[in-house]
Amino acid sequence: IQPDSKIHITSMKLANFLLVVLAVSSFSGVLVDAGHRPGRPEDTYSEFIDWVWTAEEFNQMDLSTNTKPIMFLITTSSCKMCRQLKQEFQKQNSQMREIQKIAKSFIMVHFINDDVNNYKRAEDLTVDGTYIPRILFADHQGNVMKNVVNGMAMHSLYHYFYSDPTQVRGSMIQVVRMPQYAGDNAQHAALNRKQAAKLKQEKRKKQFDDEL
C-alpha cells in the first residue's frame, strides 16, 4: 500500500470513529435528559417537587381555570442562606416528605432572583425588599397574599424571609387551611392541627432560647 493510500484509510477510520462517538453522545444525551423538565436541575431545592422554573414559563400559564394557590421561592446560587435552605430541602426526612405532599396542592414556582424582573407582576414579589431567600404565597389567580408571612422569621423587618423548612411548612399549611382551598385539601386537616401545635411549641422554644 502506498503512503497516500494509508492516509486515505486512516482518514476513513477516523471519520467512522467520530461518527460512532457522535452517535453515542447523542444517545447518551437522550438518556440523561429523559424524565427531566427544562430548567436548572442543578438549582432544584427538591427533585420530588414539580417546579415552574422561569418567569417566561410562568407568564405563559393560564391561571383563569387554576384552583391551586401558588408558592414563589426566590433564591440565588451565590447566597449562603439560600444554599443552607437548599440543603435542608434536599433531605429526605419526615418533614420534607410532608412538604412534598402538601406541595401537590400548590403551583410551586422557583425563580432565580435575577429572573424576577421578567415576571409580568414583578413588583408583587418585592413587597418589602429584594432580600433572599424569600417566599411569597399567592392565590390561584396570582394575587400575592401579603398577610401570609413567616411568623418565626429571624428578622422582623423581612416578613417573607425563610431560613428553615419548618417555617415554610407552617405557611403552606396556613394557606391550604384557607376556606377557598380547605375543601380540596381535607386530607391535610389532621396534619394541619398537628403541625399548628408543633409550630406553636417551636415558637415558644425559640422565644425562650432568645431570652437566655
Question: Cell digits for 28?
Answer: 447518551
Band of residue 26 on the pLDDT scale cut at 50, 70, 90: very low
pLDDT of 197 higher than 80? no
The arithmetic mean of pLDDT across residues 159-174, rounded, is: 93
Distance, CA of 107 to CA of 145 (rounded, Å): 14
Q: Quick one: pLDDT at residue 16?
A: 56
Average pLDDT over residues 180-185: 70
- Kindly report, residue by residue over 50-73, the tens digit of the pLDDT: 899 899 999 999 999 999 999 999
Asked if pLDDT for residue 9 goes beyond 50, the answer is: no
Tell me what pLDDT residue 159 has: 92
Mean pLDDT of the 155-178 span:
91
Strand partners, 51: 108
Does the structure show a pLDDT above 60 at 93? yes
Tell me what the mean pLDDT of segment 174-192 comes to.
Answer: 71
Give the pLDDT score at 48: 77
**151: phi > 0 → left, psi -120 to 50 → alpha, else beta; which?**
alpha
DSSP structure string for 106-140 = SEEEEEEGGGGGGSTTGGGG-SS---SSEEEEE-T
Give percent above pLDDT 90 in the chain.
47
**Confidence (pTM):** 0.68
Question: Does the pLDDT at position 32 exceed 60?
Answer: no
H/E stretch holding 184 reads none
Q: 39: alpha, beta or left, given left = phi > 0 and alpha = psi -120 to 50?
A: left
pLDDT mean across residues, the chain? 77
Residue 6: is its pLDDT beyond 90?
A: no
Q: What angle do CA 139, 92, 167 make, to 5 degrees?
A: 40
The pLDDT, as a whole number, for residue 202 is 76
For residue 34, the Cα-to-chain-centroid distance in whole angstroms is 20
